[in-house]
Structure 1
Amino acid sequence: MNTRKATVRTTMLLGTLCAALAATAVIALGMGFVRIPPAEALCVALGLPCGDDVSLRTAAIVNQIRLPRILSAAGTGFGLGAAGAVFQGVLLNPLADPFTLGVSSGAAFGAALCLVLGLTLFGAATLPLFAFIGAALTLAAVLWIARGDTSRSPSTLVLAGVITASILSAGLSFLKYMADERVSTLIFWLMGSFAGSGWTQAITVWAASLTGLFCCLWFARDLNVMSLGGRTAASLGVNPARVRLFLLMAASFVSAVCVASAGIIGFVGLVVPHLVRLLSGPDNRILLPASALAGAVLLLAADTLTRAVLPHEVPIGVLTALIGGPVFCWLFRKRHAGRDHA
């Protein structure tokens, strides 16, 4: 009976999040400088007959401007939410997110270097490629710093990540100094934005996010076992060091593509898993997809707010920090208040 209740609860949670994502996307399609009825915008986006009064201008706005941006925002939130849940599960740290190990900073450094140097070696794939190289090298540096700990314990990895992130922060400041006339473009990109998102960007971020999520879900059971401790996991046939390395690489790959897609967007990977864990519980088989969907809803709603509601478009990274910061403070105080009463 308990298993059946858990299955129903999981289905309701994931179904509700999917419905919320679909509803948010439809509402976002109709919102903007040019108001379009949501039903009409949805028909245009799906290629359904909408009557003879749909102009070419409306179709162009929906299919070439709004739909790619909506998909990019949702895909980036999807990836950041999943990556945040993976980092928190691997590092056994509720404060972990893609920034904890410096992975996002490494991706940002690689992408910023590409922008400053004006590199276009591989066309549109150059920026994501440099972002991933930066993230991969950062992860390698973290593992190298923590090499003295053969088990690569979470506390050692977090400390190594803090050291690496500090160095990369100085590197980003140096790139801003060297950017000269490109410094405004670099700073605006680092603050995060989906302005100008195209179909290539949307397809890339969704492909990376879905691939990363499925890879992490494959090891979700092992991640659950690892939460019991390294010795317990090893006794149950799980290799903590190997699983931890694979999951960190998968989450780093997703984070790198998301950073290359939209710049640095904080607090999504930190706050979303916290909120979802209150509803789903600690089981990563449920937590990972639920965090991904909730991240997509949150980031899409935030992008719609800054694009279509606010009088001036605010960089999405700034907006998520303004929203996520107070929410995280509330969650943090509530968590510790519960401990004190206990």
Structure 2
Amino acid sequence: MTSPPHVLTPARVLGLSGVFLAGLAVVFLLTVFLGEQAVSPRVLLEEPGSLEARIFWSLRLPHACLAALVGAGLAASGSTLQGVLRNPLADPFVLGVSGGAALGASLALALGLGTVGDLTSGLSGGLSGSLGGGLSRLSAPALFAFAGAVAAMFFVLAASRGQGGRAPYAALLTGVVFNAFASAVITLLKALSDPNRLGELLFWLAGTLGHERAGTLVLSAVLQAVAVGVMLALSGRLNLLSLGDADAASLGVDVARTRRWLLLAASASVAGAVVLSGLIGFVGLIVPHVLRLALGPDQRLLVPLSALGGAAFLLLADLLARMAQPLFGQELPVGVVTAVLGGPLFLALLHRRGRLSSSSL
């Protein structure tokens, strides 16, 4: 007797995980070997000192690892926030974390405290020396971005505290208002910024993946592993939260504490991604939403598969951005590509949901 399609069984988990891992591996290999300058696996093995080998090890591989980490964090956070807010169309940026990070980085750049290249250049310093020396090399834009994200996160949590069953809606509305405020301040900073710095600020805000050093990638991987690990550990309780606060509490869930930890984990994941990549939209909206429609609402499955799917989606978008470079004369920000891909897909999903709702009446 076969299990219903949405029932979670070990065989189903292993099978889907294997499929998603295989798909991610294929996209990852395509990303590191294809581009404006193709890299041959044979050359890597036979000519380790060649130009292609240097491109692979110093540019392609770190770039792809960063894309995978950012995509995984955004998509896993999107799945979690859609569950916490009980809104399948919620986006990880909805809590204002991205707006806070963008505001912090924009303020540092507008004040001349660094450049876009400094956003991540100091993040790996702590792994190459003592802890104190590493911290002293952290760039001002990166520190401002993370501080802004953390401040936004605690602001939203404070606004939703004590709201009981209305806490998800209070968090949602607070995030929307904070994002509007951050957007207005960023617009003001653009108007007041040195024209020589305006271009790099706009480029970073559009969503840009760099070529990070090993230390930066390790720090990012640790942050995302901890954040996604917390979300996965609480995914069973998140399933109960979707029943409503009263029902979840009757089943033994500490609603306020569980929601707080989930929001903290998701916000930390988004903050780490925004610091490294700028504002990349639709990854946290489209990937978990499509998986929910295809696989059901069980967060124990959605969180890990969203992480794998988000990594593959952003890698694919990054590959398309690099492949389009000859057409546009420069490499497009990956945030532009995710918007071009995600916008029409989002509208199609929205239309499909509306048609299904109408047919069920």
TM-score by length of 2: 0.86
Between 282-291 and 199-208, report the one with greater CA deviation: 199-208
Tell me how far apart the structure 1 counterparts of residues 8 and 176 of structure 2 sit (CA, whole Å): 41
Does residue 279 of structure 1 match 2:294?
Answer: yes
Identity of aligned residues (%): 41
AA partner of residue 22 (structure 2): A
Tell me how far apart the structure 2 counterparts of residues 22 and 40 of structure 1 sit (CA, whole Å): 19
Kept in 2, the 8 Å contact 1:131–1:257? The answer is no
Aligned to 1:233, which of 231, 236, 248?
Answer: 248
Kept in 2, the 8 Å contact 1:152–1:241? The answer is no
Q: Secondary structure at the match of 2:36?
A: coil
Tell me how far apart the structure 2 counterparts of residues 146 and 219 of structure 1 sit (CA, whole Å): 20
- 1:32 is displaced (CA, Å) by 2.2
Q: Secondary structure at the match of 2:93?
A: coil
Does residue 57 of structure 1 match 2:59?
Answer: no
Aligned to 1:40, which of 37, 42, 55?
Answer: 42
Identify if the C-alpha distance between structure 1 residues 125 and 287 changes in structure 2 by more than 3 Å, giving closer, same or farther.
farther
Aligned to 2:343, which of 308, 312, 325?
Answer: 325
AA partner of residue 34 (structure 2): M
Between 22-31 and 331-340, report the one with greater CA deviation: 22-31
Does residue 84 of structure 1 match 2:102?
Answer: no
- 1:123 is displaced (CA, Å) by 2.3
- 1:13 is displaced (CA, Å) by 1.5
- Counterpart of 1:101 in structure 2 is 95
Kept in 2, the 8 Å contact 1:272–1:295? The answer is yes
AA partner of residue 193 (structure 1): T
- 1:203 is displaced (CA, Å) by 2.5
Tell me how far apart the structure 1 counterparts of residues 311 and 77 of structure 2 sit (CA, whole Å): 12
Kept in 1, the 8 Å contact 2:283–2:338? The answer is yes
Kept in 2, the 8 Å contact 1:72–1:201? The answer is no
Alpha-carbon displacement from aligned partner over 1:293-341 (angstroms, at most 9, x marks no partner): 0000000011011113442311111111111000011111111111111
Kept in 2, the 8 Å contact 1:69–1:198? The answer is no
Identify if the C-alpha distance between structure 1 residues 127 and 19 changes in structure 2 by more than 3 Å, giving closer, same or farther.
farther
Aligned Cα root-mean-square deviation (Å): 2.1
TM-score by length of 1: 0.91
Tell me how far apart the structure 2 counterparts of residues 305 and 62 of structure 1 sit (CA, whole Å): 18
Q: Secondary structure at the match of 1:228?
A: coil
Tell me how far apart the structure 2 counterparts of residues 330 and 151 of structure 1 sit (CA, whole Å): 31
- Counterpart of 1:22 in structure 2 is 25
Kept in 2, the 8 Å contact 1:102–1:162? The answer is yes
- 1:254 is displaced (CA, Å) by 0.8
Mapping 1:299-338, distance limit 5 Å: 299-311=314-326, 312=328, 313-338=331-356
Q: How many residues are treated as equivalent by the alignment?
A: 333
Alpha-carbon displacement from aligned partner over 1:213-263 (angstroms, at most 9, x marks no partner): 101111111101111110111111111111111111111111011011110
- Counterpart of 2:279 in structure 1 is 264
AA partner of residue 191 (structure 2): Y
Kept in 2, the 8 Å contact 1:77–1:299? The answer is yes
Structure 2 unaligned blocks of 5 or more: 115-134
Kept in 1, the 8 Å contact 2:69–2:311? The answer is yes
- Counterpart of 1:132 in structure 2 is 146
Kept in 1, the 8 Å contact 2:320–2:337? The answer is no
